[in-house]
Amino acid sequence: MAPTKERNHPSFVIRYNKEILLFDCGEGTQRQLKYAKLSSNKITKIFISHWHGDHVLGLPGLLQTLAANDYNGELMIFGPETTGERVKKLLEIFPFEREFNMIIKEIKEDGTIYENDDYFVVARELQHSIKCYGFEFVEKARINLDKQKLKKFNLKEGPHLQKLKNGESIKVNGKTITPEDVGIFIEGKKIGYIADTTICDNTYLIAKDADILISESTFDADLEEKARKRLHLTCKDAALIASQANAKKLVLFHFSQRYDDVSSLLENAKGIFPKTVAAYDFMKLRF
């Protein structure tokens, strides 16, 4: 809930192609972006898990900075119901001139909340003291065309190749050519984000087959009773979810301020799910 000397409030980004997707926006996020050498002007979407202060207090400052930096994109903000009214109130409390377009998308039920040709984002409701959602970022499967196979069918550059990449069959000289004939299918990657919650069915769905699972881990295993009372997870909970849901890698974050050293949480989690790491500010993960 409170930052420490070593750890800032919750926020992480996914860099995908030329855009930045921001998940939660704790106090100090825009300053952290500068340290990480990430341009806030490349943020296209902000996903708010819930409206507790440690996850959103950086939002008004970030919006003001975007306006001052002549942000010329179309910013989409996703969050629980009431997000539209809450953002409106923030803009009233902190007035500034804003010329860029901002679209608010309120999440009213579980399911896909955004989709384009390359990926989609799923929201799933968690169990916390207020309405809270976790998210799945899922890259769509793609087709890489094999040059040798293209040569075999005498296929050269042109719009027909794009159709094959899109998964469509084409006809050439009366012969149907399918994507399977000339391409190699590559499965997309999945990132799961479990925000503040106690254990529930949706924690397992978010974690299912995730290449990277980012999960809150507020308490060590010996504080299970406190975790249940406050509707949070222990490091053991997060590890069990990752293990049972067949996740490939677990990243623990959202540690209580009581822990100056999180090595105990990490070791307890690794005892259940070895492929676990503890998040630290400016950690980078590539896949």
The residues assigned a catalytic role are: 54
CA distances from 133 to 21, 90, 165, 268, 270 (A): 16, 21, 33, 26, 26
